[in-house]
Structure 1
Amino acid sequence: MPTDVLTPEPSTTTGAPHTVVRRTRRRVTPGRIAALVVLVVLAVTWLLPFAWALVTSLKSEAAAGSTPLAWIPADGFRLDAFTSVLSEGNIPQWTLNSLFTATAITVVTVATSALAAYAFSRLEFTGRRWLFVVVIASIIVPPQVLIVPLFYQMLTLNLVDTYWGIILPQVIAPAMVFILKKFFDQIPEELEDAARMDGASRLRVFTSIVLPLSRPILAAVSIFVFIGAWNNFLWPFIVTNDTSLMTLPVGLQTVKSAYGVQYAQNMASALLAAAPLIIVFLFFQRQIIKGIATTGFGGR
């Protein structure tokens, strides 16, 4: 891979040194070749299940369930599975429900997590250390343990079969508080002290200095929360009975269960549910990678 190297050389006219950009090539070593081969193998291994799901969704039900398995069906590829899923279910409404709830969960989660993380990072108050320990300890609590008390709470508040019943229990994210707190710790306090000397309040410092400097991590956290909210099946499945309020994963499950095990339709449903997340990743992959490197998920 070519790289640019800056080297000073004397000018032929004035004799004064000037910078010349020389393009050099990285040496092709056995180690680089081996690393490239390993990466290609891993990429193919990761893409293989996705390719099989795509191929299966383009088969007829008879070809999808026949043995031996074949990549290319004898009766050719067709779109019957996608047509059946789209016609039998209310895909547009479920997609809008998922988009609305996932966006609302993302906005509320990022806002509350950022405020809590900034308080743990900068404010001094009684019990701060122990409260932060409680937040960290809550990360290891399985979400399934909280399903019963959360459902009774939503039932008491008359929030079952409502959008708020889907959204509110999912806005608490202790892991995101920890990630944002670690990032806020790296921001120099001198910037905030200078702003406060100019008369800025703590909230003004947070909104005008800390948040603009935290755009990469906020983008990464937003993407993580959005993906988790979009993929969440268990809680929306429990708290909703009205088909008009179901999210896309829950709605697609009702279509599949109504018609038994149909492999082509199952794969078509999975691809329809995953398509928005694939689009989000393609558009925001730089922010995701930068957020992973910044938060320490990459081993830093």
Structure 2
Amino acid sequence: MSPSSAQRFNLAGLAITVVTVVCAVLWAFPIYWGIVSSLKPDDEVVRPYIELWPDTLTFEHYVFALTETQIGHWYVNSLATALGVTVLTIATSIFAGYAISQLDFPLRRTLWWLILASFMVPLQVLIINHFVLMANMGLLNTWAGIILPQLIHPVVIIVYKQFFDQVPKDFREAAIMDNASEWRILFKVYIPMNWGVTAALSIVTFIWAWNAFLWPFLAVTKTSLMTITVGITQTNDSFGVYYASELAAAVLAGLPVALAYLLFQRRVTEAITLSAGIKG
């Protein structure tokens, strides 16, 4: 590479780095601003100018969120519903992916194309149908009413189907020769060979379910049954909304997901890459 080409390459790399850093700062600033504002007294939060650090550092808003709200109930509700969505989504997706990949049954290809076509239907379009169904079934203001409409994740089925397609046929043929049932083939051959995919998809599905707001907001009206994302909107009193307290509750709501991402960053990135590859 000539000196001029190397110089142009370095300049291009420098420009890409600068743009990346600027984008990262723009993305991270609202998070930083929310955390810093949650550590300010209320009178500092509403000042008409920007302060990057509080004049008076206080944790009173976190104490308020932890002691004066039902955040403990909201955590339990979010944990229960997110785990329920994760377990049921992964289980049903494994079964569906295996059936479409390895079994021969009527309308198999039609079902597969329906799953692919479901990408074109935003979940928000189904909200009214979900609400009417849950109301008719008497499941509003219940964990089941929160969980059931959130089990629609076709990308998980597609990822499993693709990975089951990649398992060498020799393994299945050997298991069939040993008179293994389909259940045994699935649990003894296919699932163990895809534990990494299952772990990655489980973590991302849990994060999706934990962060869900629209459907839990519509499905639950009782404060004690709200998930954390909905419950933090109740962080106020008869005198109105306190922004710092709202932000403190929001930080506490996002803390488990942030910790999960830090602990399982590689798995989360893997699952996002798989999902992006399918959608692309």
Q: TM-score, normalised by structure 2?
A: 0.88
Given candidates 153, 168, 185, the residue that maps to 2:165 is 185
Instruction: Give the superposition deviation at 1:124.
Output: 1.6
- How well do the aligned residues superpose, as a CA RMSD in angstroms? 2.3
CA distance in 2, matches of 1:252, 1:289: 28
Aligned to 1:10: none
Instruction: Give the superposition deviation at 1:241.
Output: 2.0
Quick check: 1:51 aligned with 2:16? Answer: no
Determine if contact 1:216/1:291 at 8 Å carries over to the other structure.
no
Counterpart code for 1:72: W
Task: Please list the CA deviations of residues 183-222 of structure 1 after superposition, one character each: whole Å capped at 9, or x if unmatched.
Answer: 2222212111112112211111111111111111111111
Quick check: 1:280 aligned with 2:267? Answer: no
Matches within 5 A, 1:12-91: 30=10, 39-74=20-55, 76-91=56-71
Given candidates 239, 247, 251, the residue that maps to 1:271 is 251
Matches within 5 A, 1:1-300: 30=10, 39-74=20-55, 76-256=56-236, 260-294=240-274, 297=277
Instruction: Give the superposition deviation at 1:296.
Output: 5.3
Determine if contact 1:182/1:295 at 8 Å carries over to the other structure.
no
CA distance in 2, matches of 1:144, 1:78: 39
Residue segments in structure 1 that go unaligned for 5+ positions in a row: 1-28
Determine if contact 1:292/1:298 at 8 Å carries over to the other structure.
no
Higher helix share: 2
Instruction: Give the superposition deviation at 1:238.
Output: 1.4
Determine if contact 2:140/2:220 at 8 Å carries over to the other structure.
yes
Q: TM-score, normalised by structure 1?
A: 0.82
Counterpart code for 2:242: Q
Higher relative contact order (CA 8 A, sep 6+): 2
Name the CA shift for 1:70/1:190 in 2 (closer, same or farther; >3 Å): same
- The count of aligned residue pairs is 271
Higher strand share: 1
Residue segments in structure 2 that go unaligned for 5+ positions in a row: 1-8
Q: State the secondary structure of the residue aligned to 1:100.
A: helix
Q: State the secondary structure of the residue aligned to 1:229.
A: helix
Task: Please list the CA deviations of residues 214-238 of structure 1 after superposition, one character each: whole Å capped at 9, or x if unmatched.
Answer: 1111111111211111111121121
Instruction: Give the superposition deviation at 1:266.
Output: 2.4
Task: Please list the CA deviations of residues 226-278 of structure 1 after superposition, one character each: whole Å capped at 9, or x if unmatched.
Answer: 11111111211212122221111111112248654432122212211110100
